[in-house]
Amino acid sequence: MSPSPAPAQPHWPAIVQFDGQPELAYISSLAEWQAAADLQHHIYHARDRLIDAHGAIYTLTPRAQQRVKPQATGQHLSLDQVLELVRAHLAREGQACVAKFHAPSIAAAIAMANDDEHTAP
Protein backbone atom coordinates (compact mmCIF):
# COMPACT_ATOMS: atom_id res chain seq x y z
CA MET A 1 0.00 0.00 0.00
CA SER A 2 1.24 3.43 -0.78
CA PRO A 3 0.01 6.72 0.68
CA SER A 4 -1.14 9.40 -1.74
CA PRO A 5 -3.92 11.94 -2.00
CA ALA A 6 -7.25 10.11 -2.03
CA PRO A 7 -10.31 11.28 -3.90
CA ALA A 8 -13.30 12.27 -1.76
CA GLN A 9 -15.51 9.81 -3.65
CA PRO A 10 -14.65 6.34 -4.98
CA HIS A 11 -14.16 5.77 -8.69
CA TRP A 12 -16.38 2.93 -9.85
CA PRO A 13 -16.38 -0.03 -10.23
CA ALA A 14 -15.21 -1.00 -6.77
CA ILE A 15 -15.04 -4.00 -4.46
CA VAL A 16 -15.68 -4.44 -0.78
CA GLN A 17 -13.05 -6.61 0.87
CA PHE A 18 -14.21 -8.24 4.09
CA ASP A 19 -11.39 -8.62 6.64
CA GLY A 20 -9.92 -12.10 6.65
CA GLN A 21 -12.23 -13.39 3.90
CA PRO A 22 -11.50 -14.10 0.22
CA GLU A 23 -15.07 -13.09 -0.67
CA LEU A 24 -15.42 -9.73 -2.42
CA ALA A 25 -18.56 -7.73 -3.10
CA TYR A 26 -18.49 -6.14 -6.57
CA ILE A 27 -20.17 -2.74 -7.00
CA SER A 28 -20.45 -1.38 -10.55
CA SER A 29 -21.54 2.19 -9.81
CA LEU A 30 -22.48 4.79 -7.22
CA ALA A 31 -26.15 4.10 -7.95
CA GLU A 32 -25.67 0.39 -7.27
CA TRP A 33 -23.79 1.18 -4.03
CA GLN A 34 -26.56 3.49 -2.83
CA ALA A 35 -29.30 0.98 -3.77
CA ALA A 36 -27.63 -2.10 -2.25
CA ALA A 37 -29.45 -2.36 1.07
CA ASP A 38 -27.38 -5.37 2.13
CA LEU A 39 -24.17 -3.35 1.72
CA GLN A 40 -25.60 -0.14 3.15
CA HIS A 41 -26.92 -1.73 6.33
CA HIS A 42 -24.11 -4.24 6.85
CA ILE A 43 -22.19 -3.83 10.09
CA TYR A 44 -18.63 -3.52 8.88
CA HIS A 45 -15.58 -4.47 10.89
CA ALA A 46 -12.84 -1.88 11.31
CA ARG A 47 -10.61 -3.61 8.73
CA ASP A 48 -13.28 -4.14 6.05
CA ARG A 49 -12.62 -1.78 3.18
CA LEU A 50 -13.78 -0.56 -0.20
CA ILE A 51 -11.21 -0.54 -2.99
CA ASP A 52 -12.00 1.61 -6.01
CA ALA A 53 -11.08 1.45 -9.71
CA HIS A 54 -7.86 3.39 -9.04
CA GLY A 55 -6.82 1.20 -6.10
CA ALA A 56 -7.76 3.83 -3.49
CA ILE A 57 -8.77 2.35 -0.14
CA TYR A 58 -11.78 3.57 1.84
CA THR A 59 -12.99 2.62 5.29
CA LEU A 60 -16.70 1.89 5.63
CA THR A 61 -18.15 4.16 8.28
CA PRO A 62 -21.83 4.26 9.28
CA ARG A 63 -23.55 7.64 9.01
CA ALA A 64 -27.07 9.05 9.36
CA GLN A 65 -30.03 6.80 8.54
CA GLN A 66 -27.78 3.75 9.05
CA ARG A 67 -26.20 4.25 5.63
CA VAL A 68 -22.50 3.72 5.00
CA LYS A 69 -20.19 6.36 3.62
CA PRO A 70 -16.77 5.34 2.32
CA GLN A 71 -14.04 7.43 3.93
CA ALA A 72 -10.78 7.87 2.00
CA THR A 73 -7.67 6.61 3.81
CA GLY A 74 -5.05 8.08 1.48
CA GLN A 75 -3.72 4.57 0.83
CA HIS A 76 -3.71 2.70 -2.49
CA LEU A 77 -3.22 -0.87 -3.63
CA SER A 78 -1.20 -1.72 -6.73
CA LEU A 79 -2.59 -3.64 -9.68
CA ASP A 80 -0.74 -6.76 -8.46
CA GLN A 81 -2.28 -6.45 -4.98
CA VAL A 82 -5.79 -6.07 -6.40
CA LEU A 83 -5.23 -9.02 -8.74
CA GLU A 84 -4.26 -11.18 -5.75
CA LEU A 85 -7.51 -10.28 -3.98
CA VAL A 86 -9.55 -11.01 -7.10
CA ARG A 87 -7.74 -14.30 -7.75
CA ALA A 88 -8.49 -15.45 -4.18
CA HIS A 89 -12.14 -14.48 -4.65
CA LEU A 90 -12.40 -16.34 -7.96
CA ALA A 91 -10.68 -19.42 -6.53
CA ARG A 92 -13.23 -19.41 -3.70
CA GLU A 93 -15.96 -19.28 -6.36
CA GLY A 94 -14.51 -22.37 -8.04
CA GLN A 95 -12.83 -20.73 -11.03
CA ALA A 96 -9.97 -22.76 -12.53
CA CYS A 97 -6.50 -21.48 -13.43
CA VAL A 98 -6.92 -18.19 -11.56
CA ALA A 99 -3.13 -17.78 -11.36
CA LYS A 100 -3.20 -17.06 -15.11
CA PHE A 101 -5.73 -14.23 -14.79
CA HIS A 102 -4.22 -10.85 -15.64
CA ALA A 103 -5.67 -7.40 -16.18
CA PRO A 104 -4.35 -4.23 -17.83
CA SER A 105 -5.70 -1.97 -15.07
CA ILE A 106 -7.10 -2.00 -11.55
CA ALA A 107 -10.58 -1.28 -12.93
CA ALA A 108 -10.32 -4.32 -15.21
CA ALA A 109 -9.11 -6.49 -12.32
CA ILE A 110 -12.03 -5.33 -10.18
CA ALA A 111 -14.46 -6.09 -13.03
CA MET A 112 -13.24 -9.71 -12.91
CA ALA A 113 -14.83 -9.98 -9.44
CA ASN A 114 -18.27 -9.39 -10.93
CA ASP A 115 -20.06 -12.65 -10.05
CA ASP A 116 -22.40 -12.14 -13.01
CA GLU A 117 -19.63 -12.33 -15.58
CA HIS A 118 -16.59 -14.34 -14.35
CA THR A 119 -14.59 -13.55 -17.42
CA ALA A 120 -10.88 -12.90 -17.54
CA PRO A 121 -9.30 -10.52 -20.02
Residues 58-87 have pLDDT tens digits of: 999 877 677 888 999 999 999 999 999 999
Q: Is the pLDDT assigned to residue 20 strictly greater than 60?
A: yes
Q: Is the pLDDT assigned to residue 2 strictly greater than 60?
A: no
Q: How far apart are CA 76 and CA 92, in angstroms?
A: 24
CA geometry: angle 29, 113, 115, nearest 5 deg? 90
